[in-house]
Amino acid sequence: MVRANGKSLFSIFVLTKKYFSMLILIFSLFMFSSPRLLAADAGTFIYLPLIQTAFVPIPGATIAFASAKGVYVMYVDGSGLTQLTSSSTCERPAWSPDGTKLTFCNGAADIYVMNADGSNQVRLTDNPAVDMAPAWSPNGAKIAFWSARDGNNEIYVMNTDGTQQTNLTNNPADDTAPVWSPNGDKIAFASARDGNPELYVMNADGTQQTRLTNNPADDYSPVWSPGGAKIAFISTRDGNREIYVMNADGTNQTRLTNNPVYFDGDASWSPDGSKLAFTSYRDSNWGVFVMQADGSNQTRLTTNSLFDGAPTWSPDGTKIAYRSQGGTGSDTNIYVMNADGRNQTRLTSNMSAEKGPIWSPKP
């Protein structure tokens, strides 16, 4: 028998084989995550976890959304579905302008930021009041949000690491729904300071707060056009919720939809500013529609008998993602379709996708 250091090679082989499974298992605890069955030797099987790579977002081709279970991301074909957080959210997540991070508010209404793969989750706000609707500035340096920490809802802004949280509006009425202009110079928002919800605009530092709408009904949900020249919004001034558009200085307020039944909203500008996708309840059900920016050529894109809504355009303008109850009863899932309504494709199953979808930007 050949020996090595006084021990037979056979003895070394038996010792090695005896502890082979244990060594593999210990090693895998440090290196891997999801288990699979592996044959360690004849008649012996162990669970060896598979390597789990981090989710890598594709600019302009990644969709984020939130459900009661947490924040998720996936690719535009539905592959790579990844849960990033394990708790519910109070708002849909928001992408950073470079597409590398997401901000969101958790079920306790505090604002967090994390990498797009879910790593490095950092709490930015920490107070007993509600902090909601985080929105990145176009240059990625600031996050606007609204907070009730001063006894009523106010618009705040902070650095992306949570420092320098500053009240911009500071008045006794409620100020909500901050939206950055495309160049980052201004913030549009809704305020009840004059007795009912109206739309205002201010400089990014809170100066020159200017009222844009002025009527006894409610005006809310401002959405800047891609070039910053127009603002679409919802108004009840004609008895029900309709979509309007105005110049960024508040002039030329024009009704785009005229639906006497119930609701038109969720306005979403196409990337080139030529069209608006929106949600409407007409013809006895909810659907996704599209129209020209002047309100002409209103066209239904979805015909599901249940809910379809919350449309958002892909950065290249070729597709629209939306939420739908099509074929799932009470569960709302994420779908995607061509901009003309063709190729409607379900991306998720039984997700109760309540907030979103939101496309990753394409820098």
Residue 277 belongs to some domain of the structure: yes
**Three-state DSSP class for 335?**
strand
> What is the per-residue pLDDT across 105-132, written as a single tens digit (0 to 9) for each?
887 789 999 999 999 999 999 989 999 9
Dist CA 271 CA 293 (whole Å):
12
| 40 and 112 both lie in a single domain | no
Is the pLDDT at 60 greater than 60? The verdict is yes
CB distance 202 to 219 below 8 Å: no
Is the pLDDT at 237 greater than 60? The verdict is yes
CB distance 308 to 302 below 8 Å: yes
**Of the given ranges (56-60, 298-302, 358-362), which has the lowest mean pLDDT?**
56-60
Across the range 181-199, mean pLDDT stands at 96
Indicate which CATH number applies to the domain containing 182: 2.120.10.30
Question: What is the pLDDT at residue 228?
Answer: 98
Cα 250 to Cα 56, 212, 232, 299, distances in angstroms: 41, 4, 11, 27
Q: Rounded to 10 degrees, what is the CA torsion of 336, 340, 344, 345?
A: -40
| 132 and 233 both lie in a single domain | yes
Question: What is the pLDDT at residue 69?
Answer: 85
| 267 and 221 both lie in a single domain | yes
Residue 55 belongs to some domain of the structure: no
Number of structural domains in the chain: 2
| 87 and 222 both lie in a single domain | yes
Residue 350 belongs to some domain of the structure: yes
Residue 209 belongs to some domain of the structure: yes
pTM of the model: 0.83
CB distance 62 to 74 below 8 Å: yes
What is the extent of the structural domain holding 235?
62-359
